[in-house]
Amino acid sequence: MNIWLVMIIIGLFTFATRFIFIALLERIKLPRNFQRALRFVPIAVLSAIIAPELGYTNNQLALIPTNPRLLAGIVATLVAYKTKSVIWTISAGMAVFWVLHLWM
């Protein structure tokens, strides 16, 4: 019973914290510069999550040409830039990673 109570309380807290921002931002007019800056939040967060995974191997910085994660990330970035397609980006990155991982 305790676990269900904790899950319900955490769920309500999570919902409330997100809903407050949605409800407030609908009524408050943010400055134009702030709105423009908010466009960069998703890419900054994704970069912060992905970059360490690409550049580190076994808890060591591995910015070397034999790092399959780094090479797959570079290929995926180029495919994303060229095609603007999530499916092609993921497919190309994973294909390059698997081939390099098996080859190296």
Query: Residue 54's pLDDT is what?
Result: 92
Q: What is the pLDDT of residues 23-33, one digit of tens each?
A: 877 788 888 99
Residues making up the chain, counted from first to last = 104
Q: Quick check: 76 and 92 in contact, CB under 8 A?
A: yes
Query: What does pTM read for this prediction?
Result: 0.65
- Measured CA to CA, the distance from residue 24 to residue 35 in angstroms comes to 14
- Measured CA to CA, the distance from residue 70 to residue 97 in angstroms comes to 9
Q: Report DSSP state, residue 29.
A: -
Q: Quick check: 76 and 84 in contact, CB under 8 A?
A: no
Q: What is the pLDDT of residues 30-84, one digit of tens each?
A: 889 988 998 999 999 999 999 999 998 888 898 898 899 999 999 999 999 999 9
